[in-house]
Structure 1
Amino acid sequence: EAIKKGETRIAEIDNETDLLSQAIKALSGKIEVFEKLSDENRQSQLSSAENLSEIRKNQGSLAAQMQAAEDRIAELTSALKKEKARKEKLEEELDGVRKDLKKLKEFTSGGEKELADREEEIRDMQLTINNFNQELFSVGGQISSLKDSLEMYIGIKNRYEGYKDSVRRLLSVAKTNPEVGSHVKGTIADIIHTDQKYELAFEVALGAATQNVVTPTQDDARILIEYLKRTGGGVVTFMPVTGMKPRPDSREAQRATSEKGAIGLATDLIRYDEYYYNVVTNLLGNTLICDTVYNATAIAKKYGNTFRIVTLDGDIVSTSGSMTGGSRQQKGASVLAGERKIEECRENILKKQKYLEKLKIAIAESEKGKEEAEAAVNALRAKYQGSLNELAVLSQREISLTKESEEAQSNIDVYAETLKGFEEKLGRLKDEEAYAGKSEEELNAMRQGAEATLEKQRGQCEAFKAERDEKSAKLHALEVEKAAAEKQIESLNADIRRYEKEKEDLIARIISTEREKATAEAELSALEEKAKQAELTEEEKAAVQAVNDEIATVSAEKEALNIRQVQLDEERTAVQEELTKQTDKRYKCEIEISKIDTNLENMRQRIEEAYGIDYEGCLALKADNFNVDEAAGLISALKRKITLLGNVNLNAVEEYADEKAHYDEMTVQRDDLQKAIDDLQQALDEIRAEMLKIFDAGFNDINENFKVTFKELFGGGNAELQMDYIEGQDPLEAGVEIVACPPGKKLTKISLLSGGERALTAIAILFAILKCRPMPFCILDEIEAALDEANVDRFASYLKHFSQETQFIVITHRRPTMNQSDALFGVTMQEKGVSKIVSVKLGEVEKQLGEGTVE
């Protein structure tokens, strides 16, 4: 700021100095003219008044002086004309410069706004690119999520999740075993497909049949059933294509499709291969899909429940008239929706990938547009900076032309003033010639008038000198001030002042010599006149020769002074030109410096905006032997990589340190937990082994006891307990299958026995457990209710056998059991609402009444 103010002050001082120099020069010219005119007037008037006789005799000399004045007037007129032409040319050039300045100022004022608008457009483009990149990152995340979902659904499909264990195991084996897989076509859920809005209705309509396995023929189903039996694979329902009877839609169901709320027949709303027609129509034939249960009941009432109706909410109106419906719990995806979800995921992934490609193209186009916009902004910025530089140059040129124009005007004024003086001198010479014959009185009056005029001119000259001295003092003060700001300019100005002072001295000497020359010429003329009138003596000739010698000496000195003056003028011109060159050079350097500062500031702002660091921060990243030519490509590549990274987390380092510490802590805890889990697992394995050992021993004992008690209770037959589990299953979690063979029957499962046989078998197991581990106390609640009289008596006798070690409390209505008991407790109600307990000890009764009484 101080430098700028100093330069501004220097420019102001230059302008004021030029104006003062021009004014001093004009005043010097005027003083010179006035002094010359005063001397000439004084000499002329005094000579004419004092030497009237000589002047009258020397009219020829006056004519010569008049001719010289006329020649001088002609020279001044020509110089004045040339100076006016020069001034007009300068003013024309100045007008052109001012017009160019006006255009440049208009351009720079509009260029700055246009530059700001373009930079705002670039910022908007960058914001758009950032939004595209964020969208790109989001879409990439969505694609990854969809791929994860697709893998999950495919895994669910491949693992047959949602199917019961027996179906899942069979399908898994069929997938890896070609021999088994050749007999399987898939499940019902695999062969039919429907829209999402109908999935619930079909899932309810099919029910558990969605997990039925479809086979080509009945023989294939038989082979698979035998395989399940051999491997203990559980129970699966098979639907042979050739063995299923189709169930076509009835006419009533077809007519009902036009009723209010009816959506369509179930067989029309699904997609399936015609190969499975028998299976599909068997399951979904004569079934109507309806929108609401209200419309469903209306249709069922109208058509007399001749077909099944299923609503979109999963409500069912069956042909028997029963209705099933209500709220349904949300559960995992149905087996019908698995394939649809896989296809939806694939379609969504394809759409997102296409959108991702469009985003990449949009980002590339935006990047290209941004680069073009940045190139245009750089070109506009360069043009704007060039305009500023040209504006500074034209401003300086305007100042220079203004100075030259003012200097030309000053010269015109000096020439005009000098011309006026010579014209006045010519007039006076003419007056002298005219007034040579006037009287003594007129000459005296003329002399007095001349003296008055001379005095007036002397006063004006003194005023001009005072003004010149004042302006010179002011000029000196300005030059001193300028010298303090710029040393080189002070030196050049000092040289100029010195040259001008020498010029003034030379001009003064020239004027003095001219004056002496005029005096000498006047004396010479007078002497020549006298010589014509009389012969010159030797002394007079010597005096004349001395005067001629003195005139020659003075002329030589004058010539030397003129030569010196020319040299000084040339030196001054050279110094002035050098000063102008140095000034122009200085302004050019200042413009270059300003341009470099502007570029540096722009680069600093770009670095700060783009990377958020200053110049000192950049120095730490400086690389030696860096190739600048490859920088543009490297910067573009790095920018694209930064853009692909998305939003940068500036706190990532600190967050990583925190997460790392948390991760290490959690790792330690995980290891501790894993060790605890391993220890617990080891303890559980030991406990499980011990439990299995105890279980096997207890199971074998109970099984052996069961075989004995079964024969004793049934009076024969065979029975045993079998573990129901497949290979690899935990025996402790397995079921127990009871296989019994009463006398006269074949060996079969307990589920195929009669109710009494099942009850007696269960009692046999109970006594087998009591044999293995007797209990001190046992309550039996009507355990023999399903037995006939013979078996009840056998049970009661067997129970009496165990009563030595276990106390039994038996709730019963059977007489044989009561007969075998030691004591009876009964509840009776002799009065309404009043109950009473009655007890009888049969042992005491027999003692009192005799043995055999109680039977």
Structure 2
Amino acid sequence: MQKTKKKKGNEEPMDVDENPTSTQNGDTQNSEENNVNDDIDHISDDEEGGMRIGDIYIPPAPKPALTFDATGPRLLITHIVNENFKSYAGVQTLGPFHKSFTAIIGPNGSGKSNVIDSMLFVFGYRATKIRSKKISVLIHSSSKFPNITSACVAVHFCQIIDGCGALDNIVVENVEAAQACLEHLKRNNVGRATFIALDKQQHLRQHYERTVTYPENVPRLFDLVKVKDERVLPAFYFALRDTLVANDLEQASRIAYGRTRYRVVTLKGDVIEIAGTMSGGGKTTMRGRMSSSVQQDTSEQDPRVLQANEKKLAALDQRLSELRSEQVNLEDSMVSVQKNAREGKTTLNKLGIELKSLTEQVPLLKNQIKQQENKAASSKVDVKQKAKLEAALKTAEEKLEKAKHDAGEVEKEVHGVDAQITAVAGGKVKDLQKTVDELTKKIDKVSTEITKLKVAINTSIRNAKKSKDKINQMEGDQKETEKTLESLGNQKKELTLESSRLQKELEELEEQINEGTGEFAELKQEISKLQGKENKIKGERLEANNAVTKVEKSIQDCRSKTPMWEKELTTLKLEDPGLDGIPGIERPAPLDQHTPEELEGVAVEELRNRLAAQKARLGDAKPNIQAIQDYRTKEELYLKRAAELDEITTKRNEMRALYDQLRKKRTTDFLSGFNTITTKLKEMYQMITLGGDAELELVDSLDPFTEGIIFSVRPPNKSWKNISNLSGGEKTLSSLALVFALHYYKPTPLYVMDEIDAALDFKNVSIVANYIKERTRNAQFIIISLRYNMFEVSNRLVGIYKTEDCTKSVTIENKVPEQIGRDVA
């Protein structure tokens, strides 16, 4: 088995990690939990289409195999090479297949379905899917080729790639404008488009404004782009990135495969991607995607230019009317000349036929003369008879001469008519045709110029309207400014009044200060009285100091006895059993510290008896000190396991929240696509059946992934039915409507269908065939068909036939004669 792919180029997305995660000094666990919580709250999507969940980066999905644009990138099958596969003996090439619609036709039993089987064989399907019980049946076997032991199938693909498809995107100011444009396209059903919102591309400025030196001083493709409005530069960088421009493929290879990988394009259109893939070549190179000069801005044109354009437009309109009148007169003259030419040709044909008839009579008359001469020689001379025959001969000769003369006249007349026709048709008609062609070109040129001038006038009018709106806006701003100045004047007056009020308050405060000076004198007298009292208190303090001296002397005596008692206390030691934190067990209270006054009232003998009893009790008890240590060990293990449980529980809750969020996102995305497909299914089925209806329903609307979907159909003039209860033709139409709806939601590059028109009438076959022809040009359809309504509208026909139990094929272009003539021209 062999599978061959041919590609013209490829563009790999580049994953850039713009949000690296780092841990600062501090509580690492809390930092990680915060990071996880942030990731749960927001799953970030980067500009390349990837998804980041915490430290996990999910790269973007592979690029689609096709786009909605008929000329955009997509994958297609060029041809299939079967070698000894099923009914194909030897090497048989099927194709080439058309990029849009190819019909496979042939009689029953010729091997049409084996085309599909060969594809399934390459795509890895089991023998049962290829209508075979075992693999050996796939090898060709016939009386002419009886001992073949192997089979081979090669499916050749071709990928149409746009090296920089983003150049076809439409640039808008912001996301709101892009959304409005999308709504307009959807509302009017006029196709699809991709928009670049400039407000979302401003972060790219720091990338293209930096100064970087590239290998061999080659320029960036972005730097070679010249724009008049620098606001669109982020859009160009979004499309081109850091693509470098090399002179030839050799220089491009040196730069692209160096220490640092670059995307490099040559002046001939060859591209080397960062991933290392190389694309380019081909017979033709696409040009003109970008204009070499900046279009002129008409926003600053004055009314004089507008008036001049209007006058020029009026003159061109008048000239166009004159040319059209002249064209009508020339067309009438050409019709008259063509009529005369046809009549001359008819006369010429009649004279030619008459000349041919007379020429054919000459040998016959000569033969008759010879016969008559022989008869005359063999018979006896009869004077009367001889005279009679000579008279007849003379009459015949005269007729012959007359016939020759008439023939000569006819030939001269024919030559004259021929010369006249040649003069008329070769001269006047040729000149008239040349004049008509020149006038047609002039008319087209004038029409083009008129269209351009009309566009310029409309643009100038629109720009004038914008200028008028700007003037109105500036006048409004001026009025607002005047109102602001008036408001500031009022505020100035209010501040002046406020200043006067504060000046009055300041004078009042100065008066209050003068009044306070008198009160200060009174307070000074009162201070003198307080100083007398202070002297009296100092005397009393001196007496108290003397009393304190006596007390300190007594304390010094007690301190001299303290070391003796402290030495006595050191011999007493309270063992710490380590029972802190054990539930139900209290720590023994510390020894009480008594004052000398309290010790004077204590009975010493009673204390001695209590001490002896406690010692005896302590001697009888034998505590297990190791049990406390074991408890401590178990407690530490318990706390460790409890912390681990809390951490695992937290992570479980986080993963559960993330799972619920992803599950909700999956449901939202599914329901969004489901609604789109249901709407398109209804539209497709109504279009195909001209009045029917179809819809998809969820069995369980709360959880659409458990019970599945019900496909209900209402054929025209019938009731609602499940698809399993429909007839063969109705099932075919319903299935095709679903296929087309799915193609609208998520296009597939290749469709292979086996006799989908078998159960349909000619009307439905024509509807389906024309829909495939007109509305699905962005995919490749290979359809096996026996109905002329289907294969007559295809782009290419692959005929399958069988001779000597061996299948063969022939491919032809399915074009009408007029289309072939246009292609040749």
TM-score for the superposition, normalised by structure 2: 0.22
Greater fraction of residues in helix? 1
Higher relative contact order (CA 8 A, sep 6+): 2
Greater fraction of residues in strand? 2
TM-score for the superposition, normalised by structure 1: 0.21
